Amino acid sequence: MSHHLIKLSVAARIRNNFLTGLIICAPIAITLWLTWTVVHWADSWVHPYIPARYDPENYLNFAVPGTGLVIAMIFITIIGFLGKNLIGQTIVQFGESVVRRVPLVRTIYKGVKQIVETVLNEQSTSFKKVGLIEYPSPGLWSVVFISTDAKGEIASKFNAMGQDMVSVFLPPTPIPTAGFLVFVPREKIVILDMSAEDGAKLLISAGLVTPEYKEKLTRKPHRSPVAS
């Protein structure tokens, strides 16, 4: 009997050591894989357009991963610099005027531009706040990322009904890259103090990784107003 218990103890220790090693190695492996994938993806797009005389691989006997990514970053930075002066703005406006004349392309360009400007705008609060809403039924709560106030025709319809609505992104677990756009009354959103990054960690880990929280004097959860 004791011999059987010793075998179980050894097996349990091996299993615990394996799980501990997995917890340590998995994030490192996934990070390296994602980084390597992005580098190769950028290289595959940019590298074919690099002139041969500027391609370091022509002077070396081995491939240099990341060359395309570095050149793309330099190119984007130069475009941003030129876009801030008068000549650059004139060129950008001319390019946009050409794009707006192409029926299908102008629709895609306008939508993508609005999304990028909203996400990258430093003053924007979109997706920077995390909240809780009662979903999928009363008494059950889900984590959401605050998007923005309802706008345009949707806002007009809600205003006619006397509703002050906020759009939120309801992501699934454990891969929060797809989800649902949900319009929720402002007063029904419980704003959390955690950052969007911590909220993503909570979702990806299925609740196993909980961000640290220093409890405030007011212990009751409050439905804070969402900033416009």
**Nearest residue to 5 (alpha-carbon basis) of 206, 17, 13:** 13
Q: Which amino acid is at 187?
A: E
Give tens-digit pLDDT for 55-107: 776 667 667 777 777 888 888 888 777 777 766 677 777 777 887 788 777 78
pTM strictly above 0.75: no
Give tens-digit pLDDT for 22-64: 777 877 888 888 888 888 888 888 877 777 776 776 667 667 7
d(CA 199, CA 141): 14
d(CA 218, CA 203): 26
Q: Residue 28 in 3-state DSSP? A: helix
Dihedral sign (CA 98, 104, 107, 110): negative
* Cα angle, residue 221 at apex, residues 125 and 126 outer, rounded to 5°: 10
Per DSSP, helices labelled H in the chain are 2-46, 67-83, 86-100, 103-120, 152-160, 196-204
Comparing 126-135, 139-148, 151-160, 210-219, which segment has the lowest mean pLDDT? 210-219
